[in-house]
Amino acid sequence: MIELSIVTPEGLKYSGDVKKVAMPAANGEIEIHPGHIPFISTSEPGFVTFTDSTGKESVIIVDKGFIQIDSDSIKILVEDAKLSSEIDKKEVEKKVALLEKELTGQDTMNIDYQLKEKELKYYKALIEEWKII
């Protein structure tokens, strides 16, 4: 088993022993098992999927942040993390529409554009979660 902690500025979102974790990192999707080599990376918006000690698979949607992996623990520090039951679908859809409008015709090399594009990716991940459940 490996200890998983997901932390937001508001506090601890999840803590428990897991068999494996899959999540979006800076260079693509990674899967982590007990005994993983130490690793630090930025994380991207998307799904953290993990299998707990009972074999139950769970999903938490995360915003961008950081990942720290040791041989016996994974710490995911993100700006936001939500269970599907915590999401207000209408608010997310409004946010997606607003961000898409703001990004239309903008310079893709602009840092503000890139930050908003990552935010849009997070909110679209929330919408994708509803399709899965």
Which residue range forms the structural domain that includes residue 110? 86-132
Q: Is 131 helix (H, G, I), strand (E, B) or coil?
A: helix
Residues 89-104 have pLDDT tens digits of 788 888 889 989 988 8
Whether 23 and 62 map to the same domain: the answer is: yes
pLDDT at 67: 96
Whether 104 and 75 map to the same domain: the answer is: no
What is the Cα 131 distance to its own chain's centre? 17
pLDDT at 86: 76
Instruction: State how far the Cα of 30 lies from the Cα of 53, in Å rounded to an integer.
Output: 20
Distances (CA, A) of 126 to 39, 73, 90: 27, 26, 11
Whether 65 and 118 map to the same domain: the answer is: no
16, 3 Cβ separation under 8 angstroms: yes
Whether 39 and 68 map to the same domain: the answer is: yes
Total domains in the fold of the chain: 2
Residues 4-29 have pLDDT tens digits of 999 999 999 999 999 999 998 888 88
Residues 51-78 have pLDDT tens digits of 988 998 888 888 889 999 998 999 999 9
Whether 28 and 65 map to the same domain: the answer is: yes
Residues 39-53 have pLDDT tens digits of 999 988 888 989 988
Whether 46 and 64 map to the same domain: the answer is: yes
Q: Is 117 helix (H, G, I), strand (E, B) or coil?
A: helix
Residues 77-91 have pLDDT tens digits of 999 898 767 777 788
